[in-house]
Structure 1
Amino acid sequence: MNAATPFSLCVYCGSRSGTDPAHEAAARRVGTLIGERGWRLVYGGGRAGLMGVVADATLAAGGTVVGVIPHALMSRELGHPGLTELHVVDTMHERKRMMAERASAFLALPGGIGTFEELFEVWTWRQLGYHDQPIGLLNVAGYYDELLAFLAKTIDAGFLSTAQHDLLNVSDDAEALLTQLATLAGGAHQPDDYRSI
């Protein structure tokens, strides 16, 4: 990332809004913070659910938004027509790679299996050394409490090291977590190649 490139936060979140209003409020807050800080949002390109909320909030606060969406999901996720950039790609793999290539840091909000998959993949890439961008998990209204408890159990069971676990930065405070990710990304470099496993 050079001086001309804005800090880019790749956000993973639900294409649904969920049943707890706190989830939508958190997505709106994250988008607003991105825009107010002059950052760039990179996300999955949809206008539905939390995805649309975070994109709209970023744009409303003066930020730029880059969306990446596969052809097959354009109709299902209703690709957002008002983004700074919208890239329509052929596959989910291409989508995730393009998003990762444009990211200074990663953040997961509440979501479903797509969000889980994206979070765990980019976390795996990090621990394997394919990138060194920081990764955050915003635990809105305790949404991820049970997952975090399970992750602690995997350490006790010998399948996850404490060092691997600590690559995931967790908070329930959006502003503090975004500040932490930006600080941690200060020394990160932009890798030339992202490879899924």
Structure 2
Amino acid sequence: MEVSVLNINGQETGRKVALNDAIFGIEPNEHVLYLAVKQYLANQRQGTAKSKERSEVSGSTRKLGRQKGGGGARRGDINSPVLVGGGRVFGPKPRDYRQKLNKKVNILARKSALSYMAKENAIIVVEDFTLDAPKTKDFINITKNLKVEGKKTLVVLPVEDKNVYLSARNLKEAQVMGAANINTYKILNSEVLVIAESSLKTIDNILNK
């Protein structure tokens, strides 16, 4: 699959690049995509939710009423879960939600995500670029020139560029990542992929091991 290379002014350079069919031309595996997205979202969870159980609530341990004959549910002290202000039964405790994913599955998921975007014609290849200084206005002009303004856009650079990253940081619909750090969720969560030309080589090296 060949794609025209544009410059940041949105003009064609007259050159074309071939997207590797082993990465951008496979049949997307939906189950693997599901596993990769689930793993990413699970790994974002802090796991710090905590509630006090009966033994942790502050209060007297004196038995409030007789065991039988009261007409209601039996209960012991004021910390009983039956009473307002009592402990919680089987409440959440701090835990680690992180999940593991095999390397081959992870690679297949990223290939599937990139192939899905290629099938949707949602990939734009641009010449390598940088910005002289962090300036959101300059980044917005680039998105206008590429006709992706207002769309969820993932910009993939060969290496992380601080000026480009800071220029896009205040834009809700734009994200900037280095080619080595792209993941399945970020790809699928975007409407358009803007890939710098040199990033294609980095992606090939990572996903075609």
Q: TM (normalized to structure 1)?
A: 0.27
Larger Rg: 2
- Which structure has more helix as a fraction of its residues? 1
Q: TM (normalized to structure 2)?
A: 0.26
